[in-house]
């Protein structure tokens, strides 16, 4: 359970950093940021695999670059569902997804894979 909470906090850190660096990303308060991180995790677990399969030919055609659009769409879906979190435009969504992805990757490296040695 604590690893789950740490992952939410890392995603919230990525969203916060995106909001600080990008003028098109904003949030109303810290609770909205934590809810956005939780909702992003749920959207990535439930909706993203379906969207990934539906867009697989386009992803292959673009050599994987379309995944940036898919990730931006997931962040946009979170912004649509949560009124306290806003993303304005595709470019802001793509850049936010890159920032959140890099922060999450660094967090995964720091936390490890969670398997006991």
Rounded CA-CA distance 12/35 in Å is 8
Considering only CA atoms, which of 25, 23, 4 is closest in space to residue 14? Answer: 25
Rounded CA-CA distance 71/9 in Å is 19
In a domain, 13, yes or no: yes
Question: What's the token pair of residue 70?
Answer: 């898919």
In a domain, 73, yes or no: yes
In a domain, 116, yes or no: no
Rounded CA-CA distance 61/101 in Å is 22
Share of the chain above pLDDT 70, in %: 95
Contact 51, 73 (CB under 8 A): yes
Quote the pLDDT of residue 115. Answer: 62
Quote the pLDDT of residue 12. Answer: 95
Stronger pLDDT, 114 or 96, i.e. the higher one: 96
Quote the pLDDT of residue 116. Answer: 55
In a domain, 117, yes or no: no
Share of the chain above pLDDT 90, in %: 86
Residue recorded with tokens 């990535």 = 44
Average pLDDT over the chain reads 92
Q: Compute φ and ψ for 7, nearest 5 degrees.
A: -65, -40
Q: Name the residue range of residue 42's domain.
A: 2-111
Is pLDDT above 80 for 109?
yes
Domain count, the chain: 1
- Alpha-helical segments (H) within the chain: 2-21, 30-54, 56-61, 66-81, 90-111
Contact 46, 80 (CB under 8 A): no
pLDDT tens per residue across span 42-96: 999 999 999 999 999 999 999 999 999 999 999 999 999 999 999 999 999 999 9
């Amino acid at each position: 359970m604590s690893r789950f909470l740490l992952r939410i906090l890392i995603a919230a850190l990525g969203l916060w950093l995106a909001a600080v660096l990008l003028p098109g990303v904003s949030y109303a308060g810290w609770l909205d940021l934590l809810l956005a991180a939780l909702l992003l995790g749920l959207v990535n677990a439930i909706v993203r695999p379906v969207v990934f399969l539906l867009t697989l030919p386009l992803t292959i055609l673009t050599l994987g670059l379309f995944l940036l659009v898919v990730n931006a769409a997931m962040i946009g879906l979170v912004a649509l569902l949560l009124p306290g979190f806003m993303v304005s435009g595709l470019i802001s969504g793509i850049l936010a997804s890159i920032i959140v992805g890099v922060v999450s990757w660094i967090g995964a490296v720091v936390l490890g894979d969670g398997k006991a040695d």
